[in-house]
Structure 1
Amino acid sequence: MPSAPTSALSPLSPLPIDATLPALRAALASSNAAVLVAPPGAGKTTRVPLDLLDAPWLGSGKIIVLEPRRLAARAAADRMAGTLGERVGDTVGLRVRLGSKISGRTRIEVVTEGVFGRMILDDPELSGIGAVLFDEFHERSLDADFGLALALDAQAGLRDDLRILVMSATLDGARVARLLGDAPVVASEGRAFPVETRYADRDPNRRIEDAMTDAILRALRADPGSVLAFLPGQGEIRRVAAALEGRVGPEVAVEPLYGALMPAEQDRAVSPAAPGARKVVLATSIAETSLTIEGVRIVVDSGLARVPVYEPGLGLIRLVTARASRASVDQRRGRAG
């Protein structure tokens, strides 16, 4: 694998995205927009912003990195700050609802999509900001689409020097490139390790929790390493955790991971397992993107997700359990690579 290019990053252990960084820097040097397609675990979330810090076109400007969820934003900020040997709030800052860590030294701000919408409405010119990076754009939330529309409007009318980079693992790069005015598309090759996919039948009369419990136990017996299991919601996670209790050895820790947990509990779930131990992380779709949990070699996927559906007759949004999209399943599978 090629070594990391000379930049603000060096020296670091190599990641799959490294071979693509020179092409990405060249694309943003010649164009004010670009699209980056890189597989899960390639390192785009934490490596690209740091690599762009010394780009000539950035000058003293800031880089804004949009993440779909608070957990992903906190994890990305922690990883980048740790890479620089700093704390969050120094070169790399964090801005999320009900909490920010920003200082006068901050050059990279990791924000959630909703926070960015408020930022650009308060300052349509995005003063002092040189680049906006939309991470995991394939999720296509209303906040992300709204933020991109406002950023493109600012670029067209106020800031032709503003760089916009759209990044994803499962994105149709050509379609988004047309949206960005035929922007260049840069693609990163392959996962760090190949992923073998095994399909298991499920009795439709059994509860998903029972089927997932059996699948997790089979996976623990068949292969080494930790397990990341995807379930649609908190209720299913709690029931699977209870079903696994007493059926896994003392060397296996079972950790839930969903948005309503306290930050300390989320951090415990995404941290590596202790030496000689294994971990089973029971997660919602919160762990699909921007998170690489060290030691995970196995992904067990229920194939289900809880998604918001608008009910026009009621004027309300309700959550329903549905089959996960192909893009989501590809993201989940990639966590094993």
Structure 2
Amino acid sequence: MPRQFDTPLPIDAVLDDLDRTLDRHNAAVLVAPPGAGKTTRVPLALLDAPWARDKKIIVLEPRRIAARASAERMAKTLGERAGETIGYRVRFGSKVSRATRIEVVTEGIFSRQILDDPELNGVAAVLFDEFHERSLDADLGLALARDAQTGLREDLRILVMSATLDGARVARLLGDAPVVQSEGRAFPVETRYVGRKMDVQVERQIADTIATALRADAGSVLAFLPGAAEIRRTQTFLSERVQDPSVEIVPLFGALDASVQDRAIAPAPKGTRKVVLATSIAETSLTIEGVRIVVDSGLARVPRYEPDIALTRLETVRASRAAVDQR
């Protein structure tokens, strides 16, 4: 039976079912809505399973900030610090030790790990979080893990987790693996559509919308923009419109230092509000406490491979429906 936790989360309702499923099968798919707690609760719940005893669980995250934040959150749940029972490995930094049982890694790190050790010795399970993002590294990692499972390690467990994924399709890729569904906990969301003015910069419109939202509603704001340049420009425009000293405006994107990212996702101090200007980095595996308002530009910056020149370029496109639902 999975361990018990002090703070209840929606995902708790299916942990027993998931435990039984992975006891009988070596692959499964978990579909749970955003905020259910799958990222930080499922690895801890599986840690005491008989098949995981004295072995590691590897959790794959699509982004460095999500890997660090989820590891820190799980370690805090156990009353520890990252690097003890819970550790992480990301580009430009890691916190692991001999005592580490759960290792949170980015997808590119895992690809190198399994290429160096195809049998994944000492690893009980590989958990693919937020798999709906479908990056090349995630797809390659799943293919390599499945190859190791079918050819070398029948006892290796593979769990694919997502909030917006069609679980049945991925289950077929895993040999008709069982699908566990969490209903989660939904709260009413009011959607207000602000029409796009094509003759006005998107950054100015976002700044105006945020300023209006701050005047109309309480709570902190999370705004999605396609890239760092748009975030910087929006930050400048917003600083001109919002003079309240109790409102802190902070950026959040991948190239920032870890300390700046941590400041962005930390709860706003009592009596203050926060406006987080983020790229799609904040879509998955992160919950920023105190946010009641989300302003979405509806745009995302994605890599596009150009076969004629054999190079990959970044292109600004409309965000997918799955991404917008996740936001």
**TM > 0.5:** yes
* CA distance in structure 1 between the aligned counterparts of 2:316 and 2:50, rounded to whole angstroms: 47
**Aligned residue number for residue 3 of structure 1:** none
Q: Residues of 2 paired with 1:98 and 1:200: CA distance?
A: 40
Rounded Cα–Cα distance in structure 1 between residues aligned with 2:233 and 2:134: 30
> Residues 97-156 of structure 1, C-alpha deviation per residue, up to 9 Å, x if partnerless?
222211111000000000000000000000000000000000000000000000000000
2:33 matched residue in structure 1: 39
Alignment of 1:85-96 (within 5 A): 85-96=79-90
Q: What residue number does 1:117 align with?
A: 111
Describe how 1:169-318 pairs up with structure 2 within 5 A. 169-248=163-242, 249-318=244-313
List structure 1 segments (4+ residues) > 4 angstroms apart after TM superposition: none
Instruction: From the superposition, tell whether residues 27 and 85 of structure 1 become closer, same or farther in structure 2 (CA, over 3 Å).
Output: same
Superposition deviation, residue 192 in structure 1:
4.5
1:54 to 31, 48, 57: 48
Deviations 1:30-52 (A, max 9, x none): 11000011111111000000000
CA offset digits 1:175-214 (Å, max 9, x no partner): 0000011111111113342322221111112110011111
**Structure 1: which 5+ residue stretches go unaligned?**
1-5, 333-337
Count of equivalent residues: 326
Q: State the SS of the aligned residue for 2:98.
A: coil
1:74 counterpart (68, 71, 78)? 68
The separation in 1 between residues aligned to 2:268 and 2:28, in whole angstroms, is: 37
Contact 1:16 1:192 in 2 (8 A): no
**Equivalences for residues 3-18 of structure 1 within 5 A:** 7-8=2-3, 10-18=4-12
CA distance in structure 2 between the partners assigned to 1:25 and 1:85 by the alignment = 23
SS where residue 131 of structure 1 aligns? Answer: strand
Does the 8 Å CA contact 1:89/1:106 hold for their aligned counterparts? yes
Is this contact kept in 2: 1:228–1:283, CA < 8 A?
A: yes
CA contact (8 A) 1:69 1:286 kept: yes
Query: Hey, what's the Cα distance between the residues in 2 that align with 1:20 and 1:192?
Result: 16
Q: Which moves more between the two structures, 157-166 or 186-195?
A: 186-195
Which of the numbers 123, 126, 139 marks the counterpart of 1:129? Answer: 123
Q: Deviations over 1:295-333 (max 9, x none)?
A: 01111000000110011111100001100000100110x
Per-residue deviation, 1:12: 1.8
Please say if residues 2 and 15 of structure 2, whose CA atoms lie closer than 8 Å, have aligned partners that are also in contact: no
- What TM-score, normalized by structure 1, do the two folds share? 0.95
In the alignment, is the contact (CA less than 8 A) between 2:225 and 2:300 conserved in 1? Answer: yes
Q: CA deviation at 1:266?
A: 0.3
Partner of 2:150: 156
The DSSP-based 3-state class of the residue aligned with 1:35 is strand
**Shift, 1:59, TM fit:** 1.7
**1:51 to 1:116, Cα distance in 2 relative to 1, 3 A:** same
Distance 2:14 2:326 in 1: 20
Question: How far does residue 167 in structure 1 lie from its aligned partner after superposition?
Answer: 0.3
Q: Distance in 1 between matches of 2:44 and 2:9?
A: 13
Q: 2 CA distance for matches of 1:327 and 1:121? A: 31
Unaligned runs of 5+ in 2: none
Cα distance in 1, alignment partners of residues 192 and 183 from structure 2: 23
CA–CA separation in structure 1 for the residues paired with 2:93 and 2:203: 35
Question: Does the 8 Å CA contact 1:311/1:318 hold for their aligned counterparts?
Answer: yes
Q: Is the 8 A contact 1:42 1:192 kept in 2?
A: no
